[in-house]
């Protein structure tokens, strides 16, 4: 059996061979600042309708409580760096902007499969007594804080993890294990005086550096927020119809971005810059078919079409007015409301 350092070296090599761009290690208890930060975030109401953040705050704020037997956390980053300018679509009034990560297969499935293969490898190397648990985004794990503690990168002023080696286009995953593995040094903050991400936000969703008010964040508004979006924010959504990459794309550290190793992250042609007129009339069955295997499917037809109607209203394109008009009596109140608003904007 390999020693701790030899096993760690072999583990990192195996992780890279699986397609991860980086693998680092910390302890579950290496993020003492998280509980207070999370408490302040929820008390300020920045979580909006995401009630699960408050309900599961005990586990999200204390990774050691999530699985007390764990002694090491292997933090991993997987690149999904786009091969084109993600901001180009924002200048196309009749097209919709879909967040880079959602233009093809659901990353949860792809990353989790890689994590499970790595976990099985670790058990085979370290012995059957080794216990592991894998997580990618859906469990109450503070991935970004653990990523910084492990040295993957640091939480930038936009709150996402940034690395000198791969920028900020990366998914995070973790393997909790009962093994005692040598920990890496945490990564210091290297944002300096840069404000590129903060200044790029169309809705001013950053009350201060390192703080995000989800209630104003386009990603939250187009994905998590149920019902109509506040009228004061609709015009600022532009043509974003699912998520937003503005703050990520603005980060200067992306000059070190690493190409995605999995072609399933490459944008599907129909989602690179989709025509709003082709999306606004989707019924539920058509929506489910079009977005099968995509993270977009999770928000459902109604919320998606609501977003498309906001983009139509912001387009300034009179040719799209009839498309909005056809939905003013849609059975879903938020869709009907968005259609009325878009029609008024274009009429």
Active site residues: 137
Nearest to 299 by CA among 240, 232, 221: 221
List helix spans (H) across 47-184.
51-55, 57-61, 63-66, 107-126, 143-150
Burial class (CB in 10 A: 0-12, 13-18, 19+), 94: middle
Nearest to 276 by CA among 314, 225, 303, 302: 314
Residue entry with tokens 């309900």: 55
Query: Hey, what are 177's tokens?
Result: 């294990």
Nearest-5° Cα angle at 145, 98 to 32: 150
Is residue 317 within 8 A of residue 94, CB to CB? The reply is yes
Instruction: Please tell me whether residue 163 adopts helix, strand or coil conformation.
Output: strand
């Amino acid at each position: 059996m390999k020693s701790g350092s030899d096993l760690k070296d072999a583990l990192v090599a195996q992780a890279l061979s699986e397609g991860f761009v980086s693998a680092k290690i910390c302890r579950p208890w290496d993020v003492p600042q998280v509980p207070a930060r999370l408490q302040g975030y929820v008390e300020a109401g920045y979580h909006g309708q995401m009630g699960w953040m408050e309900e599961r705050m005990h586990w999200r704020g204390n990774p050691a409580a999530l699985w007390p037997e764990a002694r090491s956390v292997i933090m991993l980053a997987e690149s999904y760096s786009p091969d084109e300018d993600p901001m180009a679509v924002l200048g196309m009034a009749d097209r919709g902007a879909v967040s880079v990560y959602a233009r093809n297969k659901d990353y949860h499935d792809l990353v989790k499969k890689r994590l499970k293969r790595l976990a099985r490898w670790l058990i085979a190397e370290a012995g059957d007594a080794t216990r592991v648990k894998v997580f990618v985004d859906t469990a109450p794990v503070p991935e970004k804080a653990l990523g910084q503690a492990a040295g993957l990168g640091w939480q930038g002023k936009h709150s996402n993890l940034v690395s000198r080696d791969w920028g900020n286009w990366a998914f995070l995953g973790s393997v909790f294990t009962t093994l005692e593995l040598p920990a890496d040094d945490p990564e210091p903050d290297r944002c300096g005086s840069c404000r590129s991400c903060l200044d790029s936000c169309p809705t001013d969703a950053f009350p201060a550096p390192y703080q995000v008010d989800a209630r104003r964040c386009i990603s939250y508004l187009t994905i998590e927020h149920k019902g109509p979006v506040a009228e004061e924010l609709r015009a600022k959504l532009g043509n974003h119809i699912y998520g937003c990459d503005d703050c990520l794309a603005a980060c200067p550290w992306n000059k070190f971005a690493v190409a995605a190793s999995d072609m399933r992250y490459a944008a599907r042609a129909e989602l690179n810059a989709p025509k709003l007129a082709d999306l606004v009339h989707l019924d539920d069955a058509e929506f489910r078919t079009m977005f099968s295997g995509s993270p977009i499917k999770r928000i459902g037809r109604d919320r998606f079409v609501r977003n498309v109607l906001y983009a139509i209203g912001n387009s300034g394109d009179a040719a799209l007015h009839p498309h909005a008009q056809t939905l003013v009596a849609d059975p879903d109140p938020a869709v009907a409301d968005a259609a009325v608003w878009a029609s008024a904007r274009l009429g």
